[in-house]
Amino acid sequence: MAPPPATPEQWLRVFEAAVRARDFAAGRTMFAEDAVAFGTWARAVVGLDNIVREQWQNVWPRIRDFRFDADARVRTSGDNAWIAAGWQTQATGPDGHPFSRPGRGTFILERRGGRWLAVHSHFSLLPSQSDAAHGRLPGDASLARHDS
Domain containing residue 98? 8-128
* Residue 135 belongs to some domain of the structure: no
Is-contact 28 47, C-beta < 8 A? no
**pTM (2 d.p.):** 0.86
Q: How far apart are CA 148 and CA 146, in angstroms?
A: 6
The backbone torsions φ and ψ at residue 44, rounded to the nearest 5 degrees and listed phi first, read -145, 130
Which CATH number goes with the domain that contains 77?
3.10.450.50
Supply the pLDDT for residue 148. Answer: 45
Supply the pLDDT for residue 141. Answer: 58
**CA 130 from centre of chain:** 22
Supply the pLDDT for residue 137. Answer: 73
* Residue 144 belongs to some domain of the structure: no
* Residue 105 belongs to some domain of the structure: yes
* Residue 79 belongs to some domain of the structure: yes
Supply the pLDDT for residue 138. Answer: 82
Q: How far apart are CA 60 and CA 23, in angstroms?
A: 9
Supply the pLDDT for residue 111. Answer: 98
Supply the pLDDT for residue 134. Answer: 60
Per-residue tens of pLDDT for the chain, all 148 residues = 678 899 999 999 999 999 999 999 999 999 999 999 999 999 999 999 999 999 999 999 999 999 999 999 999 999 999 999 999 999 999 999 999 999 999 999 999 999 999 999 999 998 876 566 567 778 765 555 544 4
* Residue 26 belongs to some domain of the structure: yes
| Pairing mode of beta strands 31-38, 45-46 | antiparallel
Is-contact 62 91, C-beta < 8 A? yes
Q: Based on the structure, what is the number of domains in the chain?
A: 1
Q: How far apart are CA 126 and CA 107, in angstroms?
A: 16
Q: Find the DSSP H helices in the chain.
A: 8-20, 24-28, 48-51, 57-59, 131-134
Supply the pLDDT for residue 132. Answer: 62
Supply the pLDDT for residue 136. Answer: 72
